[in-house]
Structure 1
Amino acid sequence: MNFQPLLDAPIAVQIHVAAVLPAAVLGAYILLNRKGTPRHRLLGKIWMMLMVMTSLSSFFIHEINLFHGFSPIHLLSISVLVGAWRAITAARAKNIRAHKAAVIGMYFGGIVIAGLFTLLPGRIMNAVVFSGGPNWVMMLTFAAIAAMFILHRRLASGGT
């Protein structure tokens, strides 16, 4: 790993990454642990703020300029903002099914899928992750993500 490309990036990119990385970890933790507890509600509020910050900061990132400084990825940012609104209103209305759907959509769309796009050649995070340093860090990261996904699938299906 080489953090220099991120340190050289515009401040909007640095803010974006500073919000999304803890959101990725915290979101996985929340998704894999007990729901409805005071801890879940507190961590959920923190996660939601991180997601909104991630989404809002993306509107100041214009590396892929397809339409007046914006790109299709910005549609994902709009969908995360809409998802945040839906998740909050659903939770307040005690509509757990809608809340869960909104949050899972935000996590997998706004973090997992968008995160994979940041690893494409030519992107800043590609340079951070795949240049200048041990690739074992990436292998461990991918192994941890895969383990969390497998564990989540087992828990969701009622397995042990």
Structure 2
Amino acid sequence: MKRLVALIVVCFVTTYLSAQEKGIEFTPRIGFSIGNSDISNELGLNLGGQLSVPISQRFSIDPGVSFICMKSSTENMNTLLIPVYASYKIPIQQVNLDLKVGPCAQFTHSMDVGGSAEIGVAYQKWVMAVNGYFNFIDGQNPSVFSLSFGYKFSLK
């Protein structure tokens, strides 16, 4: 058991030091979202941000947060989403294709846990992404699809 704990600590320290060499990036975003619930489809505005903590040249861990302002004809559907992505970057000429997948916490009517996926295209420091968030536990919270635009800032 002590060896396992030591191995985990070494992995985290190595990951942290590797991330410091390559630089952590922050990407504030704005865009549009549509939520699909039992009542109706709601269109809304999303605001948020995402960190990118590099593990290797093409792989990173990307935690984020998005606040989505949605309102249907009968109720307020504002949603807070907190995804944690495993991200893989594929360079294609002057752009990077960024494929992400991971768990997501969602707070609308109640707390829910689900999965999320994102496909993004980055040109220099500009990012355009399409996201999907799907809940697993609470059927009252909507599944959400988003289109967002952002700009990367280096935090190093």
Q: Which has the higher contact order (CA 8 A, sep 6+)?
A: 1
In which range does the TM-score fall when normalised by the shorter chain?
Answer: under 0.3
Q: TM-score, normalised by structure 1?
A: 0.22
Name the structure where helix makes up a greater proportion of residues.
1
Q: TM-score, normalised by structure 2?
A: 0.23
Name the structure where strand makes up a greater proportion of residues.
2
